[in-house]
C-alpha cells in the first residue's frame, strides 16, 4: 500500500500528522499542483488518531453560511473519491435525521433547514409520520420520555469506511512518490528569523520549505513548538459498537437533546456515539459513565435493543475551538507554517475539501475563498463562525 523510506535531508513540504487531513493535503499537493517532494510524518501508525476512531458520518447540513458550502464541497468530493482513488470507500448514502424533542429544537432545526435550502443543500423538516416511514423501529410514541416532535432530514448524509479513506489516500500519495513516515514523532520545530525552516524528529532533523500542522487532538503541542498559540483545548470523545443485528435501521439518527447518535453498519453492528467528555485530556480510554449514557439514551429511542451486547468501546481526542469551527490558514507569527486544525468532533467529513484547499494555499499563496472564514485571524478580529448548534453532538 505504501513503502518505507529513509528520511531525506530536505522536503518542499513536511506535513505533521498522517490522518485523513494530512494525507488529503499531501494528495492534492501532488495531484493538483505537482508538488511531490512531500513528507508525511506521524508518531504512530496511519489512522491511529481520530481518523481511525470516528463514527464515519458524512453530511453537510450545517448551520452557518460559511460552514454549509464548505462541508457541501467536501461531500461532493467524497462522492467521486472511490473512483478517483480506485479504492472502495464504502460511502453509503442512507440519509441523516437530527431529532427535535422540544419546540426550541424544532425552531433551531428550521433555521438550519432554511439556510441549507438557500445554499442548495438538500435538507428539510419532517414530522413523525414521515420519520416513521424512514426509521420504523424508533420509538415515536407521544408517551416516550422525550417524544420526537420533528427531525431535520438530510438525504445526502451517510456513513463511509473511515480506514479505507486513510488507506486510499495513503496509497495514492505513495504512487505519486510522496513519502509516508509512520512512527516518526516530531519533537521540535526550527524557527529562524521568524521563518519555520525544518522539523526535529525522533529519526533526525529535516529541512522543510513549508510545515503543516495536521495533528488534530495534538494540534497545540505542535503549534507551541513553532511559537504559535492556538485557541484550542483537547477533549476525549467516545463511541462504542454492538454485536451485529439484522438490518433494521437505514438513516443515521442524531439526538442532541439526548447527547447520543447511532447508525447501523453494513455488517449490522450499531455504531453509537456521545458528546465529548466534560474534561480536557489526551486519554484515549473508554469510561463506564459514558458507556452507560450511550446505552441509556439509545434505549430511550430504541427500547427493543435492551440486552444487545456491546463489543467494543473506545475514545479519540478532539481539538475543540471556541466556535466549533476549524482553523485553516497560514500562521501570522511565523512564515512557512500552516494550520489545518480545530476539527473537533466533526472533521472527518471535511478531509477532502480541507486537504484540497490547504494544498492550494501552500502551492499558490492564495487563500481559497471556501476557507477564508476559517482563518486563524478570526479570533483577533472577532469574526467567529458560530457552528455549535450544528456540531456539538451531531458529528
Binding residues for ligand FAD, rule: CB under 6 A, are 16-22, 41-44, 48-51, 53-57, 185-186, 214-218, 222, 237, 239, 273, 316, 318, 343, 345-349, 395
How far apart (Å, rounded) are the C-alpha atoms in residues 376 and 231?
9
Q: Could you tell me the sign of the dihedral formed by the alpha carbons of 19, 178, 357, 222, in that order?
A: positive
- DSSP tally for the chain: helices H, then strands E: 10, 18
Q: How far is the CB of 339 from ligand FAD (least distance, A)?
A: 11
As measured in angstroms, the least distance from the Cβ of 217 to ligand FAD is 6
Nearer to ligand FAD, 135 or 159 (CB): 159
Q: Which of these, 305, 249, 283, lies nearest to 53 by C-alpha position?
A: 283
Rounded Cα distance between 326 and 148, Å, is 31
What's the min distance (Å) between Cβ of 146 and ligand FAD? 22
Cβ proximity to ligand FAD: between 130 and 250 the closer is 250
Nearer to ligand FAD, 31 or 51 (CB): 51
The distance of closest approach from Cβ of residue 174 to ligand FAD in the complex, given in angstroms and rounded to an integer, is: 17
CB of 173 to ligand FAD, least distance (A): 13
Closest among 116, 123, 62, 118 to 353, alpha carbons compared: 62
Q: Return the number of the residue (144 or 310) whose C-beta is nearest ligand FAD.
A: 310
Q: How far is CA 227 from CA 192, 194, 379, in A?
A: 12, 10, 17
Q: Closest CB to ligand FAD among 197 and 215?
A: 215
Element (H, E) at 15: strand 10-16
- Closer residue to ligand FAD (CB): 94 or 110: 94
> Contact, 103 vs 149, CB < 8 A?
yes
Q: From the CB of 74, what's the least distance to ligand FAD, in Å?
A: 9
- Nearer CB in complex with ligand FAD: 312/383: 312
Q: Containing H/E element for 276?
A: strand 270-276
In the bound complex, what is the minimum distance in angstroms from residue 3's beta carbon to ligand FAD? Answer: 19
Burial of 300 (0-12, 13-18, 19+ CB in 10 A): middle
Query: HSE of 167 in the Cβ direction (CA atoms, 13 Å)?
Result: 12
Contact 315, 273 (CB under 8 A): no
**Integer-rounded Cα radius of gyration of the chain:** 21
Amino acid at each position: 500500500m505504501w513503502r518505507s523510506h529513509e528520511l531525506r535531508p530536505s522536503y518542499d513540504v513536511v506535513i505533521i500528522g498522517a490522518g485523513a487531513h494530512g494525507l488529503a493535503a499531501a494528495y492534492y499537493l501532488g495531484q493538483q499542483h505537482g508538488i511531490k517532494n512531500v513528507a508525511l510524518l506521524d508518531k504512530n501508525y496511519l489512522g491511529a488518531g481520530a481518523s481511525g476512531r470516528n463514527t464515519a458520518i458524512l453530511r453537510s447540513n450545517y448551520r452557518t453560511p460559511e460552514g454549509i458550502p464548505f462541508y457541501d464541497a467536501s461531500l461532493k468530493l467524497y462522492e467521486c473519491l472511490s473512483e478517483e482513488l480506485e479504492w472502495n470507500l464504502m460511502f453509503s448514502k442512507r440519509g441523516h435525521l437530527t431529532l427535535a424533542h422540544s419546540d426550541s429544537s424544532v425552531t433551531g432545526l428550521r433555521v438550519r433547514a432554511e439556510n441549507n435550502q438557500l445554499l442548495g443543500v438538500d435538507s428539510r423538516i419532517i414530522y413523525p409520520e414521515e420519520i416513521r416511514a424512514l426509521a420504523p423501529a424508533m420509538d415515536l410514541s407521544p408517551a416516550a420520555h422525550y417524544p420526537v416532535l420533528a427531525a431535520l432530514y438530510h438525504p445526502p448524509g451517510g456513513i463511509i469506511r473511515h480506514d479505507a479513506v486513510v488507506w486510499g489516500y495513503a496509497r495514492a500519495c505513495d504512487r505519486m512518490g510522496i513519502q509516508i513516515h509512520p512512527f516518526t514523532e516530531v519533537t521540535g520545530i526550527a524557527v529562524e528569523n521568524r521563518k519555520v525552516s525544518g522539523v526535529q524528529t525522533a529519526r533526525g532533523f529535516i529541512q522543510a520549505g513549508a510545515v503543516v500542522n495536521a495533528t488534530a487532538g495534538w494540534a497545540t503541542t505542535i503549534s507551541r513548538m513553532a511559537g504559535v498559540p492556538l485557541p484550542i483545548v483537547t477533549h476525549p470523545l467516545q463511541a462504542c459498537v454492538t454485536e451485529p443485528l439484522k438490518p433494521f435501521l437505514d438513516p443515521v439518527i442524531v439526538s442532541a437533546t439526548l447527547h447520543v447518535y447511532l447508525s447501523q453498519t453494513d455488517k449490522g453492528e450499531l455504531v453509537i456515539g456521545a458528546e465529548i467528555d466534560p474534561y480536557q485530556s489526551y486519554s484515549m480510554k473508554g469510561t463506564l459513565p459514558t458507556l452507560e449514557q450511550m446505552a441509556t439514551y439509545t434505549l430511550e429511542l430504541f427500547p427493543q435493543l435492551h440486552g444487545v451486547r456491546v463489543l467494543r468501546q473506545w475514545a479519540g481526542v478532539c481539538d475543540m475551538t471556541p466556535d466549533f469551527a476549524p482553523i485553516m490558514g497560514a500562521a501570522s507569527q511565523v512564515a512557512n507554517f500552516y494550520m489545518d486544525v480545530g476539527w473537533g468532533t466533526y472533521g472527518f467529513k471535511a478531509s477532502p475539501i480541507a486537504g484540497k484547499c490547504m494544498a492550494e494555499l501552500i502551492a499558490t499563496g492564495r487563500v481559497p475563498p471556501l476557507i477564508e472564514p476559517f482563518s486563524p485571524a478570526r479570533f483577533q478580529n472577532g469574526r467567529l463562525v458560530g457552528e455549535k448548534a450544528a456540531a456539538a453532538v451531531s458529528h
